[in-house]
Every structure is written in structure tokens, then in C-alpha cells.
Amino acid sequence: MRRALVPVLAVLLIAGALAATADDRLSPRRLNELRAQGPAGLQRLIDENVELLARGPQPGDAAWRRAADAIDTVAAQRDGWASKIYWYTDLEQAKAAAAREGKPILSLRLLGKLDTS
């Protein structure tokens, strides 16, 4: 009986490790790290989920929803998976990026956040 349990436990441990790895990719800590990287962090998260996002939103698709919500968090807007636009929430960071890239700033003053409904 012990011999039969060992492979089952090994499979469960491996499955748990793989699930933990997937969850770690979308953990709040990692999303904060990606957000701090700016547009490059957003692009990295999109690239990691490109196949999942390609199929688009499907009713009941929890994996797609988790990925889309994570991208919204990093992009600081709803439906960031579709627009792929990174919104700066700090004006000084936006000014620095605009100067560095030679681009203008679109400044929106809204109550609340763009990533919540």
C-alpha cells in the first residue's frame, strides 16, 4: 500500500508546485514589480500571456480572467489586455517618460481609478 501512495503523493507535490508557479506569476507582489517597470513591465506580462489572450474573453474562463485582471492592474486601466496602454499615475514619472521619448502627455483628471468599474 505504501508503494502505491508514493507516486500519487509525488504527482500531487509536482502539481502543487506548478500551480504555485502559475499563481506566483500573477501575485500582487509580482504585479507591483511589473507596474514599477513601467511600459516594459506591462509588455512583459502581455508577452507571457499572449496565447491565453489571443483566444479572447470566454464565459467562465477563469484563467483568461485572471490574466486580464493582472494586466489591468499593471496597465492601471480596464481592458488593458486590449489597448496595451500603460497609464502613469505619477505626473513626474509621466513627464520624465515623455521627455525621454519625445512624446506629449495626455493628462486626465478623474475621480477614482481607470482600472475599476
Instruction: Give DSSP secondary structure letters for 34-80.
Output: HHHTTHHHHHHHHHHTHHHHHT---TT-HHHHHHHHHHHHHHTSTTH
pTM: 0.72
| pLDDT tens digits for range 20-74 | 445 688 999 999 999 999 999 999 999 999 999 998 898 999 999 999 999 999 9
Across the chain, what does the average pLDDT equal? 82
- Under the banding of pLDDT at 50, 70 and 90, the label for residue 18 is very low
In this predicted structure, what is the pLDDT of residue 17? 46
- The domain segmentation of the chain, as residue ranges, is 28-101
